[in-house]
Structure 1
Amino acid sequence: MVISYQQGKVSYEAISGHICLYVYDFPRRTKRWDQDRCSDFFVFVHHRLRKMADSFVYSGLPFEAYLNTSLKHQMISFIKKKREKELKEELFCRMCASGTLEDESSFYKIYDTFNYEIKEPAAAYKNKTGQGRTKRRLFFLALSDPDRLDDESIAQISASTGYSADYINRCCMAVKEKVQQKRDELRRLKEKKSGCFFQILVIQEKIMYESDIEKRLWLEERVQRLRGRIERLSRKIAAKASCLVTHQDLAQVLGVSKGTVDSSIFYLKRKRNNHTVSSSSADRQSLHSLQR
Structure 2
Amino acid sequence: ALLKEMHAAGFEPNAATYNALLGDALQVGDFDQAWHIVDVMETTGPGIDFYTISILFKGYKGKRHSMDAASFDRTLGLIQTYSVKVDEVLVNVALEACVSLRDPHRLSATLATFKQCGWTLPKQCAMHTYATLIKAYGQTRQLDHAWKLWSEVTERKGLTPSEQLYGQMIDVLVTNNRLDDALQLFEEMKDVHGEHLDSQGFAVAYAMIIKGYAQQKECTKALQCYDQMKEHGTRLGLVVFNSLIDACSRVGDMDAAARLFR
> Normalising TM by the smaller chain, what interval?
under 0.3
| Structure with higher RCO (Cα < 8 A, 6+ apart) | 1
Kindly name which structure, 1 or 2, has the bigger radius of gyration based on alpha carbons.
Answer: 1
Greater helix percent: which structure? 1
